[in-house]
Amino acid sequence: MRVALVDDNKNDLALLHEYISEQTAHSCQIDTFSSGESFLSCWQMGAYDLVVLDIFMGKMTGIEVAEKLRETDKSVHIAFGTSSNEFASESYDLNACYYLCKPFQADKVKAMLDRIGSDEIDRMRSVKLPDGQNVILRNVIYIDCASHIVTIHCTDGESIV
C-alpha cells in the first residue's frame, strides 16, 4: 500500500507515520509532505492508495488539495486530520473515507485503515507481541503451546517462540 501524509506539523506527521507503520507491519510505502503544494507537485494519478490531509496548512488547505485530487482521481482514498469538526460536511462532499481528529490516536488510525478495508491492508495487518516482535496475522498457520512455551508457525517456514 502506498500512503501520502500531508501536514505542516512535523510532530503530527511523525505520529501518523508511526501509527500507520505499526498497523501495516512496516510494509507499506509512506511519503510525507509539508504542504499541499509540495504534494501536488509530485502527485500522479494512481501513485497513492491513501492520502491523509491536514485541513489547516499554509497557502492551500487540505480541502483544496482534495478538490484537486478529485478532479483527476475518483478512486484514491482521502482522509482528513484536523483538530475541529468544522469541515466534516466538506469532507463528506469530497467522498473522504475518514475524518481523524487531532491529536491522533492509534485506535482511530486503525479504524481508518479498517474502513478502507483493502486486501492489501488485510495482508499487512499485524499484532505486536510482548517482546516487541510484529506478527503479520495472515502469515500465521497455527499456534501451539507446550510447557508454557508458545510457538507461532508462519507461512514463510519460520517459527516465532
Same domain, 41 and 79: yes
Query: pTM for this one?
Result: 0.73
Task: Residue 106: give its domain's CATH number.
Answer: 3.40.50.2300
Q: Which tens digits make up the pLDDT trace of 95-141?
A: 888 888 889 999 999 888 888 765 555 555 677 788 888 787 878 89
Strands 50-54 vs 2-6: parallel, antiparallel or unpaired: parallel
42 and 102 housed in the same domain:
yes
Total domain count for the chain? Answer: 2
Q: Which domain, by its residues, includes 159? A: 126-161
Same domain? For 104 and 152 the reply is no
Indicate if 160 and 139 belong to the same structural domain. yes
**Axis crossing angle, helix 10-23 with helix 106-116, rounded to the nearest 10:** 60
Q: Say if residue 100 is in the same domain as residue 69.
A: yes
Q: What share of the chain is helix, strand, coil (3-state, %, to 5)?
A: 35, 30, 35
Provide the pLDDT for residue 125: 66
Pick the more confident residue, 26 or 129: 129
Place of cell 500522479: 44
Kindly state whether residues 116 and 131 are assigned to the same domain: no
**What is the reported pLDDT for 51?**
95
87-118: burial string, b at 16+ Cβ within 10 Å, e else: beebbeebebbbbbebebeeebbeebbeeeee
107/150 same-domain check: no
Q: Please tell me whether residues 75 and 44 are part of one structural domain.
A: yes
Q: Identify whether residues 72 and 150 lie together within a single domain.
A: no
Closest CA to 40 of 64, 16, 8, 12: 64
Give the count of beta carbons closer than 10 Å to the beta carbon of residue 39: 25
Give pLDDT, residue 124. Answer: 58
Length of the chain: 161
- pLDDT over 90 percentage in the chain: 44
